[in-house]
Chains A and B, each alone.
Chain A
Amino acid sequence: MTDVTQILSQIEDGDPSAAEQLLPLVYDELRKLAAAKLSNEKPGQTLQATALVHDAYLRLVDVDKAQHWDSRGHFFAAASEAMRRILVEAARRKSREKHGGNWERVPIEPDLLVSAEATDPLQVLVVNEALDHLAQQSPRKAELVKLRYFLGFTLAEAANVLGISVATAEDDWTYARAWLRREWLRGRPMGADEKT
Chain B
Amino acid sequence: MTQLPDSDSAIFQAAVMLEPEQRTAFLERACGGNSRLRDEVESLLRAHAPNDSFLQAPLVAMTTAQPASQRPGTMVGPYKIREQIGEGGFGVVYVAEQEKPVRRKVALKVIKLGMDTRDVIARFEAERQALALMDHPNVARVLDAGASEGGLSSNRARHVPSEAFLAATTRPHRVAR
Residues of A within 8 A of B (CB): 21, 24-25, 27-28, 34-35, 38-39, 41-50, 85-90, 92, 95-96, 98-119, 122-127, 129, 138, 145, 148-153, 171, 174-175, 177-182, 184-185, 187, 196
Q: Which one, B24-32, B132-140, B144-152, is touching chain A? A: B144-152
Chief secondary structure at chain A's binding surface: helix
Residues of B within 8 A of A (CB): 9, 12-13, 16, 43-49, 52-55, 57-71, 74-76, 88-90, 92, 110, 112-115, 148-154, 156-157, 159-161, 163
Q: How many pairs of A and B residues are in contact by the CB < 8 Å rule?
A: 194
Which residue of B64, B70, B150 is within 8 Å of A112 (Cβ)?
B64
Which residue of B9, B61, B70 is within 8 Å of A49 (Cβ)?
B61
Cβ of B28 to closest chain A Cβ, rounded Å: 20
- B62 touching A108 by the CB < 8 A rule? no
- A112 touching B47 by the CB < 8 A rule? no
Q: Given the interface contacts A129-B159, A175-B9, does A116 sit within 8 Å of B57 by beta carbon?
A: yes
- A43 touching B64 by the CB < 8 A rule? yes
Q: A88-B114, A107-B68 are in contact. List 6 more A-B contacts (CB 8 A).
A: A44-B63, A106-B148, A109-B112, A111-B69, A114-B61, A152-B59
Chain A residues near B53: list those with CB within 8 A.
118
The chain B residue sitting closest to A100, CB to CB, is B153
Q: How far is the CA of A163 from the CA of B44 in the complex (A)?
A: 26
- B44 touching A182 by the CB < 8 A rule? yes
Q: How far is the CA of A127 from the CA of B114 in the complex (A)?
A: 16
- B61 touching A47 by the CB < 8 A rule? yes
Q: How far is the CA of A126 from the CA of B160 in the complex (A)?
A: 12
Chain B residues near A111: list those with CB within 8 A.
64, 66-69
Q: Given the interface contacts A24-B90, A181-B54, does A49 sit within 8 Å of B59 by beta carbon?
A: yes
- A46 touching B61 by the CB < 8 A rule? yes
Cβ of B7 to closest chain A Cβ, rounded Å: 10
Show 13 residue pairs from A and B whose CB-CB distance is below 8 angstroms, ordered by the A residue.
A24-B90, A38-B63, A98-B153, A101-B153, A107-B69, A107-B71, A107-B74, A108-B74, A108-B112, A110-B67, A126-B156, A180-B54, A181-B47
- A181 touching B74 by the CB < 8 A rule? no
Chain B residues near A47: list those with CB within 8 A.
60-63
Cβ of B112 to closest chain A Cβ, rounded Å: 6
Chain A residues near B48: list those with CB within 8 A.
174, 177-178, 181
- A102 touching B62 by the CB < 8 A rule? no
- A174 touching B55 by the CB < 8 A rule? no
